[in-house]
Chains A and B, each alone.
Chain A
Amino acid sequence: MNTDVLIIGAGLMGSSIALQLAMRGCKCAVIDKASPGRHASGANAGGLRLLNRDPAEIPLSLEAAKMWHEIESLVDSDCDSRFTGQLRVAENKSDMAKLEERASMVRAMGYQHEEIIGKKELYQLVPALAPHCVGGLLCRQDGYGRPYHAVTAFRRKAESLGVTFQSATEAYTIEQEGKDWKVKTSQGTFNSSIVVNCAGAWSGKIAGMLNESVPLTPKALMLMVTERLPHFVDPVMGAASRKLSFKQMQNGTLIIGGALVAKLDFKKEKTDLDWNQLAESAKTVLHFFPQLQEVRIVRAWAGIEAYMPDNLPVISASQKANNFYHAFGFSAHGFQLSPVIGRIMSQLILDGHSELPIEPFHINRF
């Protein structure tokens, strides 16, 4: 099969990049060794979070936030997104000092999206919260979406513009012949002028085919979801000094996470939940919402994601070869960035540079 751009990995990033390229008239094919959104893109918590981003990511995240607020105009679906804010709760003075320091750092950079709120506003916002908290850091434009809906919407829109998606297509070898790439896969050979590596946890393997080494660690992040409850909390909740990620979805279920890592057999792609960690997580939730004791956990799972040593993604051209690009290593906070990554990569590929500052994410930093 011949194409202008071959994208390896049909997750959110791959679909978003394909969409933006197709919008600019580029012929793209997306291949995936499993199926679209099978791992991190489908299994993540769906956080649309600008709050507490690494300073380097803030310009990208701000642009992504704008895109999410108008996501329907981009992909013809709202991806079930809601903008109820994201909040980090302070339980004491030292927590509050930590949050204030963060807020002033962000302000000093010229951004206004993270604001400190006091106890009164905290309890107006989350009346159900245990009474001991003292304040918080809030980003009002934040929220959440439904990951699988987003992957599907991005893919469908890209398909409507002529992009082909091929599942169960694993890349075996990647070779450059003249200017063009030859990618041998489990479903035949693809010829392409340009290749983009957004294979998530498997990106290290793809980069390795060019002898480009990246310090990527695959990890399996755990989440659990409860039965449906009457609506009782709006913002997505985090805490200043505890591992907590907690939100109530549109349908009333609670999604509980907090950077908890499952045991992972990467070769076999098997994850094994660590119940002791999930128990700590349950305990943290009950610490903030003791009224939830009898709530039933319906499901727990883990998704396999790529982590970089500095927890920042790789967004750049390859160092080893021309016409080869990388977008991976989002270290469990890529969902919100996905629309803007599509735009950045399409600019990088078609214009040779991106409008947004992406130097901190270059692969040459390792």
Chain B
Amino acid sequence: MNDHYQLLIIGGGPAGLAAATTASGQGISCALLDEQPAPGGQIYRSIESVPDTRAQTLGTEYLRGKTLAAAFRESDVEYYPETRVWSLNNGREIGITHKSQSKIITADQILVASGAIERPMPFSGWTLPGVMQAGAGQILFKAAGVIPSDGVVLAGSGPLLLLLAWQYLQLGVDIKVILDVTPLSNHLFALPKLPRALLAHHYLTKGLVYQRDLSRAGVKTKIGASNLQAAGDDLLKSVNYRHLGREHTIETDLLLTHFGVIPHIWLTQSAGCKHQWDNSQQCWRPRHDEWGNTSIEGILVAGDGAGINGARSAEHAGRIAGLQALFELGILTESERNKQAKNDQKWMKADRHIRPFLEAYFAIPQSMLATTDNETIICRCEEITAGQIREAVETGHGGSNDVKYITRCGMGACQGRQCANSVAHIVADAGGEAVSESSHYRGRPPVAPLTLKQLASLTKENRQ
């Protein structure tokens, strides 16, 4: 690994892979760093090694990753899998650990294609063993073919929940019930956005097919379920919820939840890129222009890390950002860049027609974003409850960062990833700072796990 590259790409999902393939063969020094052992990111995890039968269940969208990964493998871009990026600053210095050796490397252009994480959503009992995020269920299946053996309750909101349900149906998993927490009013709010969504109707068709298959198979979906509670002493025993004004309980030892995805912004945040609150996507994302440029020169973003638009859009955005980096490096002229970007810009625009509809349809209700159940743990690392956060706000700690300092909320091992959003919502709900650009925790590196030994390996004597 060099100390300096002309272009560094962080992340091996669709955006990163497409950008790398674009930058290949241009005579520049370029490297792609990724945490995972193989290309694909979360969406195309294990794409190169997945057995055919499993791949079929995962569907045609998943198989798109094959072409992307293959093209990347043929590129001349240096590839560093199993590499953690734990720091990025505004001087375009990146702190990484690869094979237990840490290093600071620099680049002229850095593309952050860090993807998304599942939206953490605290509710009563969410920390009980037996409650998992649906993404974890998908990882287990993609990587190892593992599926729940004793049935499962699925709860939450968003296309992935539906997809996972459909995949489990194909595999014969007993889906006890799907608890869809999106209120019926969402459907009304989403209606005006439907005509535009029809321009990207393949997504709608697919969603309808999933719903039809599930309902034909007798899987019950409770739309507008509320008051979700996971119950049990040390382990999950049952799930409680309210539906159509009545309380229900269903026994289960596994609850998979999904509440949509949000951008992984910890690198751009630690670099000091400007971020904005996206009301429609209910998340923060880095500000960027149509080419992926952030507020810091030479730092670009593409893919879900720049705002949630899905895998196909990520691929286009990755190519566009790759072209932009080549332009900045003086490899392409402005007109060459514009010309080569044209198709991707067009396809990306078409692909995104579905988004406003999806965002309105699957919007998480305010009652979940800012839980009023004071007993619910918000920060799992430090075990801070919603009540403690509200109390901190009431005693004059009116911002997320003040709440963090006084309660230690967000100071644990996950560095606030699990609670940053909820804390901002609860703070706002309790009368503190409104959810805004500045109500996110201030970024504190390292943004990925780093041990004392790994850090010490940076010292001169230890450098290899």
Binding site for B on A (CB under 8 A): 35, 37, 42, 148-149, 152, 156, 225-227, 251, 270, 272-273, 275-276, 278-280, 282-283, 285-286, 292-301
Contact = CB atoms under 8 A, between A and B. Distances in A.
A275 B455 contact: yes
A283 B412 CA distance: 23
A147 to B, nearest CB: 9
Given A149-B406, A301-B444, A286 B411 contact: no
A149 B87 CA distance: 29
Nearest to B460: A276
B362 to A, nearest CB: 33
Given A227-B413, A275-B104, A283-B459, A294 B406 contact: no
Contacts of B89: 272-273
Contact of B451 (A272, A276, A283, A295): A295
Contacts of B413: 227, 296, 298
B383 to A, nearest CB: 11
Contact of A298 (B402, B412, B453): B412
Contact of A300 (B90, B397, B444): B444
Contact of A279 (B406, B408, B444, B456): B456
B86 to A, nearest CB: 9
Contacts of A156: 396
A131 B458 CA distance: 25
A279 B458 contact: yes
Q: A-B pairs with the 8 shortest C-beta distances?
A: A279-B458, A293-B453, A148-B405, A282-B455, A283-B456, A282-B456, A299-B444, A282-B452
Given A273-B89, A296-B413, 6 more contacts: A148-B406, A152-B406, A280-B459, A282-B455, A293-B451, A299-B411
Contacts, number: 81
Interface string B266-296: 0000001000000000000000000000000
Nearest to A227: B413
Interface string B373-397: 0000000000000000000000011
A315 B319 CA distance: 60
Contact of B455 (A251, A279, A298, A301): A279
A270 B458 contact: no
A275 B458 contact: yes
B457 interface: yes
Contact of B459 (A251, A279, A300): A279
B95 interface: yes
Contact of B449 (A270, A278, A296, A301): A296
Interface in B395-423: 396-397, 399, 402, 405-406, 408, 411-413, 415
B439 interface: no
A215 B450 CA distance: 38
B445 interface: yes
| A interface majority secondary structure | mixed
A273 B87 contact: yes
A275 B95 contact: yes
B224 interface: no
| B interface majority secondary structure | loop
Nearest to A279: B458
18 contacts: A148-B406, A152-B397, A152-B406, A251-B408, A272-B89, A273-B445, A276-B458, A279-B458, A282-B452, A282-B453, A293-B453, A294-B453, A296-B450, A296-B451, A298-B412, A298-B413, A300-B444, A300-B445
A226 B457 CA distance: 17
A16 B451 CA distance: 38
Given A272-B89, A298-B411, A298-B415, A286 B451 contact: no
A294 to B, nearest CB: 5
B91 interface: yes
B157 interface: no
Contacts of B458: 275-276, 279
Interface string B74-95: 0000000000000101110001
Contacts of A293: 451-453
Contacts of B449: 296
Nearest to A298: B413
Contacts of B95: 275
Nearest to B270: A273
B226 interface: no
B452 A295 contact: yes
A48 B408 CA distance: 21
B394 to A, nearest CB: 13
Which of B397, B405, B413, B451 has the largest number of chain A CB atoms within 10 A? Answer: B405
A42 B459 CA distance: 29
Interface string B423-464: 000000000000000000000111001111101111100100
B452 A226 contact: yes
B272 to A, nearest CB: 7
A286 B456 contact: yes
Contact of A297 (B406, B455, B462): B455
A320 B315 CA distance: 65
Which of A226, A279, A286, A293 has the largest number of chain B CB atoms within 10 A? Answer: A279
Nearest to A289: B452
A186 B406 CA distance: 27
B102 interface: yes
A274 to B, nearest CB: 10
Contacts of B405: 37, 42, 148
A279 B457 contact: yes
Nearest to A148: B405
Contacts of B451: 293-297
Contacts of B415: 298-299
A295 B102 CA distance: 15
A275 B87 contact: yes
Contacts of B453: 282, 286, 293-294
